[in-house]
Amino acid sequence: MNILIDQKQIQNRVKELGQKINEDFKNQEVHLLCVLRGGFIFCADLMREITIPVEVSFVTLSSYGDSKESSGTVKLKSQIPEEIKGKNVIVVEDIVDTGLTLYVLLELLKNEFELKSCKLASLLIKPSKVLHPVEVDYLGFSIDNHFVVGYGLDNAQKLRNLPYIGYFS
């Protein structure tokens, strides 16, 4: 396993992202909508860095299953919580790969939930793989086209528990 982004780098960047959210939404509240399963560790750490009032809920979507490549079809595996209506929502995701999952989710949120605002926080993006452009408002790291694991990202549901982002050569 090669370490691409170590634990300290992740911690420092998450802290910076939390500070930026605090500035951008000063005197307001935000609602984090965490995309499960990969986004849960990033979301938890990010939430701890946010000092303004914050709520959190979860949604499960899938376009990968246990594969290393997107199926090209996004499946909504859980309902989007109604309590996000009219709120400042920040979708929290582990990685923007092709962008398909987030494109579908963001369009659904914008068209059906009358949000006050809708932003995207992603720990990682692979610019060379993006086919469905989405605007990442709070980005951790831009990476090359590696299949990465750790810090919530998995390989067939394994290796999420690594405290760093790694890849196999």
- Known catalytic residues are 97
21 phi, psi to nearest 5 deg: -65, -45
End-to-end CA distance of the chain: 7
- Residue 128 tokens, joined: 């060379």
Q: Which two tokens stand for residue 21?
A: 């959210």
Q: Please, are residues 73 and 104 in contact by the beta-carbon 8 Å criterion? A: no
d(CA 74, CA 101): 6
